[in-house]
Structure 1
Amino acid sequence: MAHTPVNHPARPIYRAIGGLTGLYLVVFGVLGIIASAGNEVLAQDDTKVLGQGTNLGFSLLCVLLGLLVLAGTALGRNIDVAINQWLAYALMVISLGGLAFIRTDANFFNFSIITVIVVMSAALVLLMVGMYGKVGTEEESEAWKKARLVL
């Protein structure tokens, strides 16, 4: 995409922010697994971790997604860009789905409104990191700069 920056000067900072977001997801997931140990996988109870409603299923999903973000951050070279962008979209869908079903029996991830806000915020951070973390050749960078000046 011509409008996505290539070789952005703040790329290392964005990559670190992506890694911290992945680390947050892993820590939240591990704490959620500990807090919801012994409950059903998709229990709808009052289990809260870091102020967010969760259950064993959502905690396991957070650990998995966080490890995926951390692996992408470690690999780099635009693999992290693709992982961050796709997971951002997935987290947005999960967050909006959680918001839609928050007060129904279909709230199978045991979301609270705080959980929806945090998951959507993490998704937006990952999307931003994915947009500004792209690495390319000097020709691609020059093409982006020229396209940017045309706008």
Structure 2
Amino acid sequence: MAHTPVNHPARPIYRAIGGLTGLYLVVFGVLGIIASAGNEVLAQDDTRSIGQGTNLGFSLISVLLGLAVLAGTAIGRNIDVVLNQWLAYLLMAVSLAGLAFLQTEANIFNFSVATVIVLMVLSLVLLMVGMYGKVGTDEEREAFEKARLVL
């Protein structure tokens, strides 16, 4: 039995928060594409979008990730739960790697400290959304409630 709640009462709110997170990634990516137009894909310069360091490559990845989150949110049916959780883990790994390589030549996505912080916050929000957005039958919900009350 999974330890995530089934049919949480605030599920629509969490789903909306997930959609807003995807929308933020798309807006950040589009503004980053505009700001880094004409630069190399993995340029390491002073390009900023919404106060965060970026380049054309990371802006394109942000747009794709944001569209994936928005598509999962639109589809629902627990696809968004799985997608949000996996993307949260991916964003955590990318932000920690970006923090590790911040002052080196290996900073291929042109991260700044602000980018790392925002990515970590977004990943935690997506993880929270993935944990509380699970949909199930009434029997699954009752089984979860009984198991929760026993603990």
Shared fold (TM-score, shorter chain, > 0.5): yes
RMSD (Å), alpha carbons = 0.6
Structure 1: state its 5+ residue gaps. Answer: none
**Deviation digits for residues 95-120 of structure 1, max 9, x if unmatched?**
00000000000000000000000000
- What is the letter of the counterpart of residue 55 of structure 1? N
Give 1:91's aligned residue. 91
Give 1:74's aligned residue. 74
Q: Distance in 2 between matches of 1:98 and 1:135?
A: 34
Deviation at 1:2, TM superposition (A): 2.8
- What is the letter of the counterpart of residue 82 of structure 2? A
Q: Distance in 2 between matches of 1:141 and 1:40?
A: 51
Structure 2: state its 5+ residue gaps. Answer: none
Does the 8 Å contact 1:29/1:62 carry over to 2? Answer: yes
Q: Distance in 2 between matches of 1:90 and 1:129?
A: 15
- What is the letter of the counterpart of residue 76 of structure 2? G
SS of residue paired to 1:144 = helix
- What is the letter of the counterpart of residue 107 of structure 1? N
Q: Distance in 2 between matches of 1:131 and 1:90?
A: 16
**Deviation digits for residues 118-142 of structure 1, max 9, x if unmatched?**
0000000000000000000011101
Q: Distance in 2 between matches of 1:35 and 1:144?
A: 48
**Deviation digits for residues 2-61 of structure 1, max 9, x if unmatched?**
310000000000000000000000000000000000000000000011110000000000
Does the 8 Å contact 1:3/1:147 carry over to 2? Answer: no
Q: Distance in 2 between matches of 1:139 and 1:103?
A: 53
Q: Distance in 2 between matches of 1:115 and 1:137?
A: 39
Aligned positions, number: 151
Deviation at 1:149, TM superposition (A): 1.1
- What is the letter of the counterpart of residue 145 of structure 2? K
Q: Distance in 2 between matches of 1:11 and 1:139?
A: 17
- What is the letter of the counterpart of residue 141 of structure 2? S
Does the 8 Å contact 1:2/1:147 carry over to 2? Answer: no
Deviation at 1:147, TM superposition (A): 1.3
Give 1:141's aligned residue. 141
Give 1:121's aligned residue. 121
Give 1:53's aligned residue. 53
Give 1:100's aligned residue. 100
- What is the letter of the counterpart of residue 22 of structure 1? G
Deviation at 1:150, TM superposition (A): 1.8
Q: Percent identity?
A: 82
